[in-house]
Chains A and B, each alone.
Chain A
Amino acid sequence: MSKRRVVVTGLGTINPLGNNVQDTWKNLVNGVSGIDSITSFDTSNLPVTFAGEVKNFDANEYMGKQHARKLDRSGHLSIYATEEALKDAELNSQERLGPNVGIVFGTGIGGIGATEDAVRTFDERGPSRVNPLAITQLMPNSSTGQVAIKFGIEGPSVTITTACAASANAVGEAKNMIENGIVDIVVTGGTESGTTPMTIAAFAQIRALSTQNDNPKEACKPFDKNRDGFVMGEGSTVLILESEESAKSRNAEIYAYIDGYGSTTDAYHITAPAEGGAGAVKAMEKAIEDAGITPSDIDYINAHGTSTPANDKNETEAIKTVLGEKASEVVISSTKSMTGHLLGGGGAFESMASILSIKHSKVPPTINLNDPDEECDLNYTPNDAVDLEINTAMSNSFGFGGHNAVLVFKKS
């Protein structure tokens, strides 16, 4: 059986740059930073006091208090982004999406906020006062289940937890599901809302985070010589993937094709990337092969670009290995410079950014890139967006655990 081609017919998002696709895109191309001092909890005893938080979103107002209080914040954001995406794909008229629709969602740490709250209650008030909703809020598949319930998704459901590659893996596995004829439509993407006191403390302990507390908006500087770590971000992004046939039969607007997916594992170290980005190289090569293109066909790379010393250096090397001479010409950018690191929600967000770049023929910049590192010597679109006709875009995502997921999108 020949594989079916897969298209993207809907996008929805809520993230540090905006609570819909339009605002997000506007801020992306204008080089706006969504990062700021944390407002949702007291940071006075923490070594890092800033992050990319979702703003102006009240879950009680959005879904009613009775529903909202049953979910962790990651669940609220997931339902919100999914509703946006389904509206965008004009699939919001049915009460239940039914058995021909699947869901593949990614998250790094699920309802970690609920976990922390429950442990605190346990310590302070004992086992009989632990929130009975704690389990259903903290389990990593909570968003997957809650979204499926809300929109009546009865096809296969899968939750992927490959850290910062999770939602890129989700989009890729969703593509496989449609290609292989399992269902015609998959709601996919991912969510992270893990900006909590404990996670900040723990990430800071391993020196993964930028500590530029006095200058949050300029702290995330991928590929810059003075980069000192990533910045936590939260958000949810959802893509509606569909077989081309299905999309055309209902005259849906097609954003782009998703033609390539490569997934590999470093099997090297639990946090450090393999030397030269060896696993990343293989994932990019797989994705390019899957898309039936050659490396020189790639016009734009939305880099993983976390702003950690190790990632940006190794990713640069990996891109050079894959693209050869073309590496010095290809246009690259890291949108994390503006959103912070959306962790398990990052791959889906950056898929959206890649797709919108194709659609609008414009590449969002890498902001705060003023003093390039000698070891990072490619074209990262510093500080200003550029106009570019893009036929093929590639999005890289790599996660703790050694997970590498790469996606290739093509103009429709």
Chain B
Amino acid sequence: MEVNEVFEKVKNLFVEELGIDAEKVTMEAKLEEDLEIDSLGIVEVVMAFEDEFGIEIDDEELTDVGTVGQAVNLLHSKL
């Protein structure tokens, strides 16, 4: 899967599942500041990623994930 395909799937999850405005979801968007995904929300995001992509994500892998782009790249590397 190409990076932009992963991004589109991630964007779709954020919009459809979490109710985030589509225009806010860019590769540069910060999860906490821009998308208002707090520490509870991030667990939901990870669950949604795991279900969508059929992968498992360890908590340690999330340490450096602060933006949509970083999340997309992590997912891309695991596919």
Using a CB–CB distance below 8 Å, which chain A residues touch chain B?
60, 64-70, 128-129, 131-133, 136
Contacts and interface: CB of A to CB of B under 8 A. Distances in A.
A65 B14 CA distance: 11
**Cβ-closest 3 pairs across A and B:** A65-B19, A132-B43, A66-B19
B36 interface: yes
B40 A69 contact: no
Contacts of A132: 40, 43-44, 47
A69 B47 contact: no
A65 B21 CA distance: 9
A129 B47 CA distance: 7
Contacts of B19: 60, 64-69
A70 B41 CA distance: 9
7 contacts: A64-B19, A66-B18, A66-B19, A67-B19, A129-B47, A132-B43, A132-B47
A64 B43 CA distance: 20
B29 interface: no
A206 B40 CA distance: 38
Q: Which of A66, A67, A128 has most B Cβ within 10 Å?
A: A66
B20 interface: yes
Contacts of B18: 65-66, 69
B40 A133 contact: yes
Interface in B18-54: 18-20, 36, 40-41, 43-44, 47
Given A60-B19, A64-B19, A136 B40 contact: yes
A160 B1 CA distance: 53
A67 B18 CA distance: 9
A252 B26 CA distance: 47
A128 B43 CA distance: 10
Contacts of A131: 44
Nearest to A69: B19
A132 B47 CA distance: 9
B22 to A, nearest CB: 12
Contacts of B36: 66
B20 A66 contact: yes
B19 to A, nearest CB: 3
A377 to B, nearest CB: 55
Contacts of A70: 40-41
Contacts of A67: 19
B52 to A, nearest CB: 13
B10 to A, nearest CB: 16
B47 A133 contact: no
